[in-house]
Amino acid sequence: MDEYKDYLYASRPYMRAPSFNLGDVSKLVLLRREKKCQSFEWYLSEVAYDLTSNYPLPPKLVVTGEVRYRSSRINIGPVYPVDKRKP
């Protein structure tokens, strides 16, 4: 799912935070290489080929975070992604 991680972060921005730690995934990466696992792109095209036609992918994040006043700790709100795709 490496090439689709931006879509995951668009729906779950908290997962991008440094405090969200998955730990050591090197054993999983090694297992994936040893078993010659297919990519997520392959899965979407060969197994779930109708998934993106029924459920289109969201726009990739351009910015993420919060807007705050410098002089206080008031949180104005989250910054939502901007859709850069042309209609």
Q: What is the average pLDDT value for the chain, to the nearest integer?
A: 77
What is the pLDDT at residue 34?
Answer: 97
pLDDT surpassing 50 at residue 78? yes
Residue 37: band (very low, low, confident or very high) from pLDDT cuts 50, 70, 90: very high
Residue 81: band (very low, low, confident or very high) from pLDDT cuts 50, 70, 90: low
Domain range summary for the chain, segments of one domain joined by +: 2-57
Q: Of 10 and 39, which is predicted with more confidence?
A: 39
Distance in angstroms (rounded) separating the CA atoms of residues 26 and 87:
40
